[in-house]
Amino acid sequence: MPFVSASTSADSLGSGPRANRRIRLVLADDHPVVRQGIFSCLERHPNLEIVGAAADGQLALQMARELLPDVLLTDFDMPHLSGLAITETLRRELPQIKVLILSAHPNTELVLRCAQAGACGYIGKHASPDEFARAVETVHAGQPFFSPDVARLALSHLVRNNGHEPNPAELTPREREVLGHIAEGLSNKEIACQLNISTRTVETHREHLMRKLDIHSVAGLTRFALAKGLILMPGLVPA
């Protein structure tokens, strides 16, 4: 499988001229077998042009900046920089690049977080070759794409919650601060020191949070904070 350095001229990549308006794609996955498999699936489609392949997040972001593809297909879990971090950075710097997130184990919180970060779609690694191509074409056309298993997951989540999710806007600024620190793994005493309030006050805020959000575990509060973008995912770094 060919690997393209981020410094390679974009015009020298691929076999056709830019005038053919093929969809220019950068593929990023840290597993060679997965990368090769997706590459093989997509390179057979005449309207797709793979202009670069990256094995880590930093290189994927560098390629996106230098090669300016139409679509970046990136794994969620990447060394050095996560797919989520890449998405948020590109949304700020190069919003015209459509990001399609790839994951072996999709879950509702990650799907929601990726959508909030600016990803245009989310597809499972077990998708068929035609589904991969359709996903790239769909997001390039400006439409969201979520593979059927991801869509079912999100729908199930909405049904379980009767379509009503807790809203961070219902929280006071102090409650949001306490929630953020809880999600970061701080104890009540550590939060009290951070906010210069008493431990008892922290406990009261925690009780209010659980009652307002109808979430009654630290793990649940952490998932909520991540899904709503109240804290950064581990490995997410600012540009």
- The per-residue pLDDT string of the chain (239 residues; one tens digit each, 9 = 90 and over) reads 444 433 333 333 344 434 458 999 999 999 999 999 999 989 899 999 999 999 999 999 999 999 999 999 999 989 999 998 999 999 999 999 999 999 887 666 677 778 878 899 889 888 888 999 999 999 999 888 887 666 665 555 554 555 456 677 788 899 989 998 888 888 899 999 999 999 999 999 998 888 888 787 877 788 788 777 776 544 333 33
Q: Which fold has domain 168-227?
A: Arc Repressor Mutant, subunit A (1.10.10)
pTM for the full predicted model:
0.59
Question: Which of 160, 135, 164, 166 has the alpha carbon at shortest distance from 148?
Answer: 135
10-160 shares its CATH topology with 168-227: no
- Domain definitions of the chain by residue range: 10-160, 168-227
CATH no. for 10-160: 3.40.50.2300
User: Which ranges of the chain does DSSP label H, i.e. alpha helix?
Assistant: 32-43, 57-67, 83-93, 108-117, 129-140, 148-160, 173-183, 188-195, 199-213, 218-227
Contact 42, 133 (CB under 8 A): yes
